[in-house]
Chains A and B, each alone.
Chain A
């Protein structure tokens, strides 16, 4: 493969250009209006918080900003016995980490193309 790529040498500039176009389209959009991914993230977490108490440490948010599609991934650890935990369970919650249910909210938001 390396031998092949030697004969078909291509510069790195096209990749630099593409990375910048994606990044700047998101940053320019963020200057004009609130970041859609940030709004979705807040509203989803608020909805979850209305049902259960979620510790901030148990929430992982991942974002991947793409050219046409961005993904927002919110990963929330929800304890099985949330709300009805017995005293011994509550005092030993760390040991029950393996028993937690994992609710993952995955969604895609479509960007508005290059601005």
Chain B
């Protein structure tokens, strides 16, 4: 049965789009069929991070307004057969994103894919609330930094109140994904550590993505980090997180970069 997952955070710039692309690709790498959906109407970027920006024809709003059918708007990833992208609109106004329209699109996607991953825009406005509205589970992306943790707390409140599942009296499944984590700085007491963040947000941990140069490299090349260099530390962390999403038990660890020469010789895939 299809699962609808929202990747959300409240705060901008914490890694929602990077995480959507990486988790979507990681799930598709295990053979699951995945659609990643950009909800950031007016400021789309998932297409760029996925390397599909040149191939966008139709978008989410076109499908909602009936200008295009869903299969016409879905863009297949060039590297992974089972990974698809539904881009956000770049120009039209946000009012076009209607609850009814989003419900219909999500429903149709449920029939076609194992996973539907909704990349939420920052903030708590319409795009963000509609991205989470029909989700079965949520990944809350948090940096170990005070404003990010505060905004995550706010978003957790919205997930428990404003989603369709919450309104039916059910609990939406929530997972915390800590990104840009620097173990050395946390150990020196310069950065909130994992336990601090977990205690404050009391939400189960999905994974810890270490701060890494590979994330910028992957976005430069338009490739999800799990595809760009599957052996890199952030890629391994995302691959583990994807397995946990599938219900597997994977020991929690913070991957570190392997020896650079070995990683270069054996690990890197062509982008």
Q: Taking A6-B265, A12-B217 as contacts, is the C-beta distance between A57 and B69 under 8 angstroms?
A: yes
Asked if B158 lies at the interface with its beta carbon under 8 angstroms from chain A, I say: no
Q: Taking A2-B265, A16-B221 as contacts, is the C-beta distance between A64 and B72 under 8 angstroms?
A: no
A12 to B51, CA, bound (A): 13
Asked if B90 lies at the interface with its beta carbon under 8 angstroms from chain A, I say: yes
Asked if A94 lies at the interface with its beta carbon under 8 angstroms from chain B, I say: no
| Docked-complex contact B71 and A57, CB < 8 angstroms | yes
**How many residues from B make CB contacts under 8 Å with A?**
26
| Docked-complex contact B220 and A16, CB < 8 angstroms | yes
Asked if A27 lies at the interface with its beta carbon under 8 angstroms from chain B, I say: yes
Judged by DSSP, the binding face of B is: helix
Task: Please count the residue pairs between chain A and chain B whose beta carbons lie under 8 angstroms apart in the complex.
Answer: 52
A54 to B68, CA, bound (A): 14
B201 to chain A, nearest CB (A): 33
| Docked-complex contact B72 and A60, CB < 8 angstroms | yes
| Docked-complex contact A56 and B72, CB < 8 angstroms | yes
Asked if A3 lies at the interface with its beta carbon under 8 angstroms from chain B, I say: yes
Residues of B within 8 A of A60 (CB): 72
5 contacts between A and B (CB under 8 A): A2-B268, A6-B261, A19-B48, A57-B69, A63-B56
Chain B residues in the interface with A (C-beta under 8 A): 48, 51, 53-58, 68-69, 71-72, 90-91, 216-217, 219-222, 261, 264-266, 268, 271
Chain A residues in the interface with B (C-beta under 8 A): 2-3, 5-6, 12-13, 15-16, 19, 22-23, 27, 30, 56-57, 59-66
